[in-house]
Amino acid sequence: MSTSDANDQTGSYVHAGKPFDRDMTYIPDRITVDARDGWPVEAGRYRLAVSRACPWANRTIISRRLLGLEDAISLAIAGPTHDKRSWTFDLDEGGVDPVLGYERLQQAYFARYPDYPRGITVPAMVDVPTRAVVTNDFQQITLDLATQWTALQREGAPDLYPEERRGEIDELNRWMLHRVNNGVYKVGFAGTQSDYEREYRELWAALDELEDRLSRSRYLMGPAITEADVRLFPTLVRFDLVYYSHFKANRQPLFTMPNLWNYTKDLFQTPGFGDTIDVEHIKEHYYAVQTDINPTRVVPLGPDPAPLIDPHDRDRFPTDTWGPGGTAPQPPLAAEVVDPAHTPLVVRGR
């Protein structure tokens, strides 16, 4: 998405009198086994630029972890805030990404498109030799990690996009994108009262459907994790932290919905999911950057994220979390461990 998951870089996302309309035009190039777009799958060639604050980038971080592609694809982590130009690598020493040599992700876009007219978005795959962006198509990136990078995946990597179920997964993902993942933004950035109320009802109708769906199986598609879970989790884990209050999606907190909340806790406690979440980066990004709806830029101290590591009840369902032959991923690389002060995973010594 663009630098605040909306349509531009400036911090201005609410357009009075208009509904929220996300620009869904992205660089369509793909990294594939057959190099159909000129970008072959190759270990060490590409760097995945992300921010832990962004839910769309969070998907790619999770997929990379679950599939064990850390050694094949390096990670450039931008800070949680930005200015009107670009995400910045202000977390790195000297404010410069150590591999690309850039201060701003914008530089990778301009290396390929000097007059790039759209938002400088994360996630983005960058070609290390040329230091130029390859693609920022967040929906395709995770599908390609699952299907094109199989030769470089770890032993025991789960099949997140099983061929026999791709039609079902695609249908559910399209629905979730418009009704839930982007639905919270349609609520939060609505330009009129009537737009807000319509999108609010649409969002909650969809969340009610998911609450019902998750009353019948441990994960969205049954006993095993799939691409659908990778796409839903980043929205759910941010819901009570920011969407409930900041986006006025406040019919009720997620923790009052037993299936959705226990599902969120379950995934948070699953290797590869919760260990990618930086609570402080998430809150700082939304509240400090989106000044149209939080002009003071005050970042709330709450809510307490510690309940994410409370016991859940999802093991009441038939379970094959990693699928046939699959295993849990290894712990994150030392350089990619979330600051312990920013995650509830260590709040109670877990």
Three-class secondary structure of residue 203 per DSSP: helix
Sequence-ordered list of residues with C-beta below 8 angstroms from that of 329, at least 6 positions apart, any chain: 65, 66, 67, 68, 154, 271, 272
Q: Where are the beta strands (DSSP E) in the chain?
A: 46-51, 74-78, 124-127, 132-135
pLDDT in tens, 118-133: 999 999 999 999 999 9
CB 317 within 8 A of CB 113: no
Which two three-digit tokens encode residue 124?
A: 């983005």
Q: Residue 84's pLDDT is what?
A: 83
Residue ranges, the chain, pLDDT below 70: 1-16, 346-350
Whether residue 243 lies in the annotated active site: no
CATH of domain 163-346: 1.20.1050.10
Q: Residue 345's pLDDT is what?
A: 87
Percentage helix, strand, coil for the chain under 3-state DSSP, each rounded to 5: 40, 10, 50
Give the active site residue among 185, 263, 286, 287: 185
Which residue ranges make up each domain of the chain? 163-346
How far is 257 from 207, CA to CA, in rounded Å? 9
- Tell me whether strands 46-51 and 124-127 are parallel, antiparallel or unpaired: antiparallel
List the one residue out of 86, 77, 79 whose CA is nearest residue 11: 86
Sequence-ordered list of residues with C-beta below 8 angstroms from that of 17, at least 6 positions apart, any chain: 191, 192
pLDDT in tens, 240-261: 999 999 999 999 999 999 999 9
Whether residue 54 lies in the annotated active site: yes
Give the active site residue among 13, 26, 46, 54: 54
